[in-house]
Amino acid sequence: MTAKLIKGSEIREQILAEIKEEVQKIKKSHGKVPGLVTILVGQNPASISYVTLKVKTAEECGFKEVQDNQPETISEADLLALIDKYNRDDSIHGILVQLPLPKHINEKKVLNAIDPDKDVDGFHPVNVGRLMIGGSEVKFPPCTPAGIQELIVRAGVETKGAEVVVVGRSNIVGKPIAMMMVQKGVGANSTVTIVHTATKDLAYHCKRADILIVAAGVPGLVKPEWIKPGACVIDVGVNRVGEKISEKTGKKVAILRGDVDFDEAVKVAGYITPVPGGVGPMTITMLMKNALKSLKFTLGIA
């Protein structure tokens, strides 16, 4: 068997096209577009490139995009005041604070200062609680897990009653995706197991999975013999395992590898996400979806 590839890079384009169309419709009917502010503190090169991609995507979607760059020396009080300003600004529907923040600033305090109704990353404890309750309580599902669920749904994989095994229990991927898959509803209603570093027999659990979601950050952790034939394998891992010269640009680029031994797993699985080009492109896409949703909530049309 050769698994069907679930290409996040293609699904991303479909979703962005849907978002653009909806933004134009709302602009016509209500005269408003989603407003998204990205606060970047300092000059961390990885943060700059991530923020640049967010800004570009938001502009592509027809959003009002504000990039607010602050110096590394900004005080915690000034950063909190800035967040308060955007919390009160009716033209802003989503507030993003790019992490990491400088050491003199308490990240948790800053993230918790964002109005939960503008927390499009879905990391505020209020939104984590809403996710746990499920159903119509959920406002902003966290973006990477939301992207994973979208990939599974758009690939046409049955989730109702499926055995889902999630490898990893982080707050940004493992725990929220497990919580989402266990809820009643479309793209969920699964029987979920979370495995982690203290799990006794990882292989045993993985082998039972109809849908195996791997977010461990360990290159090649999941072996092909751990995969149930025909299973859907979602590889969230993005691990830099070296560098190469890009044929396109002639510049040095990272060699990326997932948490699954892709070359062998593709012969056993029914569906699989590649790395790169699988889950990766979905995170910013779902962020845009959350920002649009936020505007729709304020207009009472969500």
Residues near ligand NAD (CB under 6 A): 144, 167-170, 172-174, 195-197, 199, 202, 215-218, 221, 236-239, 279-280, 283
CA angle 295, 93, 300 (to 5 degrees): 30
In one-letter notation, the amino acid at residue 54 is K
- Annotated catalytic residue within 4, 27, 64, 98: 98
Nearer to ligand NAD, 34 or 168 (CB): 168
Smallest distance from ligand NAD to CB 207, Å: 15
Least distance between ligand NAD and beta carbon 86 (Å): 24
Question: CB of residue 147 vs ligand NAD: minimum separation in angstroms?
Answer: 7
Residue 27 Cβ vs ligand NAD, minimum distance, rounded to whole Å: 29
The catalytic position among 4, 24, 43, 54 is 54
Between 236 and 292, CB nearer to ligand NAD: 236
* DSSP codes joined into one string, the chain: --PEE--HHHHHHHHHHHHHHHHHHHHHHHS---EEEEEEES--HHHHHHHHHHHHHHHHTT-EEEEEEE-TT--HHHHHHHHHHHHH-TT--EEEEPSPPPTTS-HHHHHHHS-GGG-TT--SHHHHHHHHH-GGG-S---HHHHHHHHHHHHTT---TT-EEEEE---TTTHHHHHHHHHSSSTT---EEEEE-TT-S-HHHHHHT-SEEEE----TT-B-GGGSPTT-EEEE---EEEEEEE-TTT-SEEEEEE-SB-HHHHTTT-SEE--SSSSSTTHHHHHHHHHHHHHHHHHHT--
Structural tokens at position 99: 């992490």
Rounded-to-integer distance, Cα 208 and Cα 226, Å: 9
Catalytic residue among 121, 210, 235, 259: 121
223 is catalytic: no
Between 170 and 189, name the residue whose CB sits nearer to ligand NAD. Answer: 170
> What is the strand order of the sheet 232-235 is part of?
4-5, 271-272, 232-235, 211-214, 163-167, 191-195
Is 54 noted as a catalytic residue in this protein?
yes
Q: Is 24 annotated as catalytic?
A: no
In angstroms, give the least distance from the CB of 59 to ligand NAD.
20
CB-wise, 237 or 270, nearer to ligand NAD?
Answer: 237
- From the CB of 228, what's the least distance to ligand NAD, in Å? 18
Other beta carbons within 10 Å of 216:
25
| Residues noted as catalytic | 54, 98, 121
